[in-house]
Chain A
Amino acid sequence: MAKVGVYVCHCGSNIAGVIDVEAVRAFAETLPGVAVARKDLFMCSDSGQEMIKQDIRDGLVDRVVVAACTPRTHEPIFRAALAAGGLNKYLFEMANIRDQDSWVHAHDPVGATEKAKKVVASAIGKASHLKPLEDKFVDVTDAALVVGGGVGGIFAALELANMGHKTYLVEREPSIGGVMAQLDKTFPTNDCSACILTPVMVDAGNHPNIELLTYSEVDDVEGYIGNFTVKVRQKQTYIDWKKCTGCGACAEKCPAKTPDAFNSGLSNRHAAYIHFPQAVPKKAVIDMGACINCAGRTIGSEPRISKKTGEPIYAPCEKACPAGAIDRSLALDPNGTIRELKVGSIVVATGFKVMEKENFKEFAPDCENVITALQLERLISATGPTGGKLLVPGTVNKPHTMTFVSCVGSRDERFHTHCSRVCCMYMIKQARLLKEKYPDLSINMHFMDVRAAGKGYDEYYTGARAMGINIFRGKVGGVEKLPGGALRVMAYDMEAGTPIEYETDLMILATAIEMADGAKELAQKMGLQFCGNNFYRELHPKLGPVETSVRGLYLAGCCQGPKDIPDTVSQAKGAAAAAAVPLSQGKVKIEPILSEVHPEKCSGCGICVPLCPYDAISLKPYADRPRAVIDMTQCKGCGVCTSACPSAAIVLHGYEEEQIYAQIAALTA
């Protein structure tokens, strides 16, 4: 019979402040199979762990139950203690009497104590039936994938590459750079965004260990830590990138136009285009959605022959290309090509998008002079549609008064409850830059409150006040379009305690940061989870900020939550360090919490085979007939096959039927 040791933790007053720990310990002592039951102020402390190890060494216990916090954070710690004491670490079970008991039932100490007894009994029941298991180790493919080529992805890739690991950097736009490439300057130093980003983009483009896969998207991810197989779809560029020199002649001659996303729709680009002037790689693509097939040159068709000259008629882009990189006679696949990559770890840095103004009817979104802050960023950028001159969109006029509105869609129950974290600071930056350039410009800023918590940020904000920028605390209630194009702003000044109204020429909305397009689909391909509906969930909000619940998958940047550039770069370097661990170790541990078929019980019915989400089960001959076999490297231990098997021939190690029945019996005793 098993000799179970039960260790009940006070967790300071976290547990003992509500639950009668001694009563739980004394109760545990009476249960069959329990050899010792002890308590300690902090079971996870050195002395607490030592207590367990000593009991193991003394031969008193061969199964361990710790009643404490949650296995989600502390199971690994106690498992390690078992191993150090000389016991198989899988002979351990935790009873969650803090997170799921004392913390939630503080209003009912008696009920909480009774629940704790049941939960401990359940853990003892399971522990009595636990069997020793062995970790497995598999080799690792020494390569990494970074998804998303913004500043976060670029730094993650550079770090991994500098550590000597082959790194693929996948970006869906034709160039890396992300949103940072769209910015004019960066707070709180007013560094030119392009000046600090472009050299890093070039480094990533030239690094011998980095392979850029731009204009590409992740199609499918399979496998597990150390051995992922990723299908990347390289979208059809319609231009031979091996020949393209990025001269831009095709774009110059292309007559088709479509709104330029890089300029946030403030200007048009051509169907043949280069993403932006400093693009890396600097290659042109043809956007077939916007192409008008001039000269009847649909892709894959032979050119028409001129009746006058007898010469073939080519499209302007073809004629313009001096490198001969465009040939519309080729029947190029509009779906592009699929590239299969083998990698050991993956960093997801897919960034964010900002909400469009159309969501906010109270701010007259139909007016051209109401724009988002990202649009303003393009409007004041030297590479933007006006060459950096501040003009009211749709006119050639300079504004005399302009208005900034914070928290548009952020901290608003109608849209997003989160704070977008960067808006206060970038609005102050934009206002400061404009005030420096146009001292006569009257700038009014409306904040719910100013959040300037970063290094040097509050000084930057105080400086803005000193420059004569008007800062109001209070929300803007609405905006009215006036004849002649100006806008009437109706707001509240909380400090003066009065409503204010004035006319403005240009209105800037600091719209909320939200998850990037396609984030949901990517999450489903990778098994990532969300925090609510907004951003990818990290493994632990404090202690696992770059890891995810999928081993081998790490997060960096705004896909995990809104953050500024320094925080994104920090997290990217952290994610790269974490992603490099399995690559450097060369082998990864596979926990044996996996399913296994007892072939002698298997009837070979095959019900389990299509149920497995990982195609890990196949029928293979065994004795007289085919029976199910599970590939341990493919199995992830979900147990779907176990619960479906009519012959009870499949066991999920660590969650065996008799273990769960013992738990049910204990809970209903």
Chain B
Amino acid sequence: MATIKKSPSYWKMVWRQYRRNHLATWGLVFIAFLIVMALGAPWIATNKPLWCNASGSYCLKAPIPYTPTQYNLDESLMPPNRHHWLGTDEQGRDVAARMVFGSRISLAVGVVAVGIYVAIGILLGALAGYYGGWVDQVVSRAIEIMICFPTFFLILTLLAFLGPSIYNIMIIIGLTSWTGIARLVRGEFLKLKNQDFVQAAIALGASDSRVIFRHMLPNALAPVLVSATFGVAAAILIESGLSFLGFGVPPHIPSWGSILSQSQEFMDIAWWLTLVPGAAIFITITVYNIVGEGLRDAIDPRLKV
């Protein structure tokens, strides 16, 4: 009675549970590292000095003192060495610099595409689950129709019409991948709709949008977050695949998929060109999946709420 401390909220309890999973916690650290790398790319990989003293006698060089498009044909296809940590490609461009800039594409595609489809999925799923009836029929049929298309080929087809561009990739992934989230949210809403606290909110005189967004959505968000984490991994993979096939970003802009794509011709003489982007994609996807699973486990064992 004496001390009344503010009780831990649901998400604090989820975090406490999540922290117990060391692998997932390190996964989160790795994702944070990727984000810092993507955001800081112009300062990490540049041939301009970061800082010089007043007389210009001493300059602080960037960690990777090359830009991703800076070519030097004298240094083409060099294996990893003191100057080029991850070697160079056929035009003598530094692979490390290209990888750092490539991570921006992966991150942007992952975040924006997933953001678009999570928003669409939540809205349609919530409406279908809350209102039922013909609204549910329309949304459910739309989901079934979307699922019928193999997403990757649908994306390829649409890109062929719209032209390859990173923005088109984001929008198309966003517009085609919302079905999973919509089904998830619809299911959660069907479950929540009959719970007493939702009925209580309706009986209280709360408007539909208030019931949907203030009362039901916060209780349906946890599985969406898990799914979105897996979704980021899937979106990165799709972007890499598209870039590999040449439908992604224009060739001069580095992305992990396009670096991998260009490595094909030199696979037998320049192993690093294949290994580095391949490993980066593999590790990133794995880490996102580990984080997603950790999150799911932290939410799933019915926390005492």
Chain A bound to chain B = no
Q: Report which A residues bind B (CB closer than 8 A).
A: none
